[in-house]
Amino acid sequence: MSYDYDVVVIGAGPGGSMAAKTAAENGLDVLLVEKRQEIGTPVRCAEGVSKEALEEFFEVEKSWIAKEVSGAIIYSPDGTQIKLVAGMAGNEVGFVLERKIFDRALARMAAKRGAEVIVKTTATTMRREDSGVVIGLKRLGEYYEVRSKLIIGADGVESRVGKWGGINTTVKIGELESCVQYLMSGIDFDPEYTHFWIGRKYAPGGYVWLFPKGEDVANVGIGVLPTQTKKSAKEWLDKFVRENYPEGEIIEVVAGGVPVTGPIETAVADNLMLVGDAARHADPITGGGIANAIKGGYFAGKVAAEAVKAGDFSKNFLRRYDELWKNDFGKNLHRNKVLQRKFVKMDDDVLNRLARSISDYDLSEISVKKLVMELIKKNPKLLWDLKDLFL
């Protein structure tokens, strides 16, 4: 078969653009396909990401960042506060992005490195032919096919590419956080922190967040597990907003799902790699997926280049990609899935007790591991079975 491209990337979110950029940088002929007419909109994200996650790969531009924060405050149901410095608070705390700008900037980087980028084009089918793949694309009602050595599925939470390639990416109803978010202005909060409210009182199976985008503007959102509540995410969020920020104006509404399955067994098949939400790489506790999408995209782009060089597009060869993400963030995904299962079962009294047991610690001076070990020591009955995860 003669090929139109070395690699076709489906989806121009952070994962897809990073994969396309990396593959193009490594000399491959790349096509990046996005179904929306504008990359980056509508935003379905609270836009929080750690500084390290961005600085590892990019010279961060001012225009990408709406607000920089120094840490996170977690509120337990009885109002006990735990203050974490940004470095401890995980992959979602540090910068609050303008994803409308950031996602576009990443796609532009891919284009600058030589990737062809097309929007308003949906990938609808895929079949294997000889040693490559034929991908069906629909653009403005017209169907056409392109031939490629590899396909990278970066098509987000509703991914179909994995299924086409025979990878099991099924998300059960109990593993899909249902999220709603308002961009709110005219509200009063401490803009130096991102804020999280946990417990059934606020968000069964999830949490409420407030991510500052300015002094009085923030993304205020919620994720709940539909198996844990009969009320919708919107009903829970409206209650929270009524009780806490009645003075605010809602200037944008966002709804979406976040897969919290934990790591899938493999994100590769013959001719195919999955990255980001399509590979279920979002963090099972926080739901954050930008950092892992970028990293996964980078790994997939690199492995694509190695595969093209070797002329080998088999699942066996592409397992290198599985190794890379598993050895990097795969362990955290696994650990956080175990923690999330436990967290979902905890009632509000337990969460209050846990929060109170560490509320007087100076959390700027202790590592996450030490903090968790302290929590386990102070609450052995509840948490003893978790200790091996942190040793």
Ligand X SMILES: Cc1cc2nc3c(=O)[nH]c(=O)nc-3n(C[C@H](O)[C@H](O)[C@H](O)COP(=O)(O)OP(=O)(O)OC[C@H]3O[C@@H](n4cnc5c(N)ncnc54)[C@H](O)[C@@H]3O)c2cc1C
**Interacting residues toward ligand X by CB under 6 A:** 10-16, 33-36, 44-49, 92, 122-123, 154-156, 160, 179, 181, 221, 254, 256, 258, 276-278, 282, 287-291, 293
Pick 229 or 357: Cβ nearer ligand X: 229
Q: How far is the CB of 233 from ligand X (least distance, A)?
A: 9
Q: How far apart are the first and last CA of the chain?
A: 51
Backbone angles phi, psi at 338, to 5 degrees: -60, -45
Query: Cβ of residue 385: shortest distance to ligand X, in angstroms?
Result: 28
Q: How far is CA 364 from CA 87, 332, 354, in A?
A: 9, 22, 18
Nearest CA-CA partner of 220 in 205, 201, 234, 199 = 234
Q: CA-to-CA distance for 302 and 325, rounded, in angstroms?
A: 12
Minimum CB distance to ligand X smaller for 6 or for 155:
155
The owner of tokens 């034929």 is 134
Q: Which C-beta is closer to ligand X: that of 12 or that of 31?
A: 12
Name the one residue in this structure whose structure tokens are 């280049």: 305
Nearest distance from residue 92's CB to ligand X, in Å? 4
The nearer residue to ligand X, 266 or 314, going by C-beta atoms, is 266
Which secondary-structure segment (H or E) carries 253?
A: strand 249-259
Cα–Cα dist 191/319, whole Å: 43
Q: Tokens for 55?
A: 């600085």
Residue tagged 């013959």 (tokens): 270
Residues β-bridged to residue 7? 30, 150
Residue 28: which of 150, 154, 132 has the closest Cα? 150
In whole angstroms, the minimum distance from the beta carbon of 343 to ligand X comes to 18
The residue (of 196 and 313) whose beta carbon lies closer to ligand X is 196
Residue 96 CA: distances (Å) to CA of 3, 68, 256:
40, 6, 18
CB nearer ligand X, residue 144 or residue 384: 144
CB of 377 to ligand X, least distance (A): 31
Shortest Å, Cβ 97 to ligand X:
8
d(CA 22, CA 124): 24
What is the four-CA torsion angle of 286, 289, 290, 296, rounded to 10 degrees?
140
Q: In whole angstroms, how close is the CB of 372 to ligand X at the nearest point?
A: 21
Element housing 141 (H / E): none
Residue type, 291: A
User: Is the Cβ of residue 44 or residue 353 nearer to ligand X in the bound state?
Assistant: 44
Q: What is the nearest approach in angstroms of ligand X to the Cβ of residue 311?
A: 27
| Least distance in angstroms from the C-beta of 171 to ligand X | 13
3 state SS of 22:
helix
Enter the tokens of residue 336: 């956080």
Q: Which tokens sit at 58?
A: 């990019």
Residue 242 φ then ψ, to 5°: -55, -45
* Nearer residue to ligand X within complex by CB, 7 or 258: 258
C-beta closer to ligand X: residue 239 or 353? 239
Residue 384 · residue 376 · CB < 8 Å: yes
Residue 183 CB, shortest distance to ligand X, in Å, is: 11
Question: In terms of CB distance, is 15 or 205 closer to ligand X?
Answer: 15
